[in-house]
Amino acid sequence: MSEMRAETTILVPGKIPAYAADRIGERFRLVGIDKADPALLTEEMKRSVVGIASATIVNAAFIDALPNLRIIANFGVGYDGVDAAHAGTRNVMVTNTPDVLTEEVADTAIGLLINTVRELPKAESWLRAGRWRGEGPYPLTRGTLRGRSVGIFGLGRIGRAIARRIEAFGLPVSYHNRRQVQGVDYEYHPTLLSLAEAVDTLISVAPGGAATEKIVNAEIFTALGANGVFVNVGRGSAVDEAALAEALEKETILAAGLDVFADEPNVPEALLARENACLLPHVGSASVHTRQAMADLMVDNLIAWFTKGEALTPVAETAHVRSGG
């Protein structure tokens, strides 16, 4: 495979971290547009762009608008915004950034779970507002981790990292996936409903997409029960947010902790109004250390593709794609 040339053009639709853009600019010719809209592409871009570095939606129409496209490097482990199946039919490689964010997101999930159950952010606000001094100790929390049983929806890399942490708390772990995971001892449930009926704490690490759209719904919350806690660090689209808000309001479940939402950064008012919801602005992997590692892997995929004709972390839908040289 020949060395990549400086005129190898990589398109960035929307925003990516500045560190990633700088690295791309050092090795390639970088061009940018505001979003992945075919109408924003110039004729020169259509001719010259061979790669995309992206943290946004890249649909089939946008892929088709770039006839010489060879690779889409996605920033993030989740790539449901990229039509990878269509890219595969066009012989376009798609990569993501797994592993490098696994531990960070798992840490966030545990922190969010503890904050949700023990109300630590609200307790800090109580102190800062002078209420400890003026009114006395923060009220005892109804929630605790003690005695809980935890179900994980999506036992992939991140799900397994969360499970290891849950085990350290001395709590039993169960899980639901589309298929059973080999080599783990956790109890497997063939349906999400079965899992929710068996546990009182459900942590969703499920990917987005049509298969999981609003799959965590009113039936699941009812199954969790009045002591139930729901935590989501996967994709917001997997949750029926209206049903969740109602479950919180009616105390069908005890509490919820959310780091992701269906229409980010727009959080439903019904969830904002709930005191028994702990809400974070999608910070699961948001440390300098981890975001830099993600950026490095995204750029390293581009470099490997254009120098060796190989991707470091191809997604399943494009594992068959081979470089055209």
Residue type for position 297: L
* Nearest-5° Cα angle at 108, 122 to 13: 115
To the query of whether residue 118 is one of the catalytic residues in this protein, the response is: no
To the query of whether residue 282 is one of the catalytic residues in this protein, the response is: yes
Q: Do residues 152 and 161 touch, judged by C-beta distance below 8 A?
A: no
Nearest residue to 11 via CA among 68, 60, 90? 68
Q: Is-cis flag, bond preceding 265, omega within 30?
A: yes
**Which helix (H) or strand (E) element contains residue 108?**
helix 102-118
- Cβ atoms within 10 Å of 248's Cβ, excluding its own: 22
To the query of whether residue 189 is one of the catalytic residues in this protein, the response is: no
144: helix, coil or strand? coil
Choose the catalytic residue: 213, 264, 275, 310.
264
What are the φ/ψ torsions at residue 278 (nearest 5 degrees)? -105, 115
Choose the catalytic residue: 23, 235, 274, 291.
235
172: helix, coil or strand? coil
Q: Give the integer Cα–Cα distance in Å for 316 and 319.
A: 5
Q: Do residues 321 and 104 touch, judged by C-beta distance below 8 A?
A: no
Residue ranges of E strands in the chain: 9-13, 29-33, 49-54, 71-74, 93-95, 150-153, 173-176, 187-188, 201-204, 229-232, 255-258, 277-279
Dig out the tokens for 207 from the structure: 């990917």
Show which residues are catalytic.
235, 264, 282
